[in-house]
């Protein structure tokens, strides 16, 4: 695991060190399953996609929560 990359990303606010380490391990498992061991470029690419997807996931969750509230308001009328 590239501790310098994880530490850098954590300092930039891209996640906690623990969550980033989990994402790295998960990305490594996916890359090894798809490409075999030693494809570090693939691991890095998958990790970066997972790391950067936090912004997208939270906005999707927020939009879903807003729709639920709007539906409840319209049902109560």
Q: What's the pLDDT at 40?
A: 92
pTM for this entry = 0.66
Q: How far, in Å, are 54, 55, 62, 69 from residue 66 at the CA level? A: 18, 17, 6, 5
How far is the C-alpha of 9 from the C-alpha of 56, rounded, in Å? 17
Q: Give the angle subtended at the CA of 38 by the CAs of 47 and 5, to the nearest 5°.
A: 35
**Is pLDDT larger for residue 26 or for residue 59?**
26
The model's confidence at residue 28, banded by pLDDT at 50, 70 and 90, is: very high
> pLDDT tens digits, residue range 39-69?
999 999 999 998 888 655 555 555 555 666 6
The per-residue pLDDT for 61 is 52
């Amino acid at each position: 695991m590239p501790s310098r990359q994880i530490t850098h990303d954590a300092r930039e606010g891209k996640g906690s060190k623990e969550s980033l380490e989990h994402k790295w391990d998960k990305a490594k498992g996916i890359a090894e399953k798809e490409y075999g061991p030693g494809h570090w470029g693939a691991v890095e690419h998958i990790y970066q996609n997972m790391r950067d997807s936090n912004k997208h996931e939270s906005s999707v969750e927020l939009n879903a929560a807003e729709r639920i509230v709007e539906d409840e308001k319209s049902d109560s009328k």
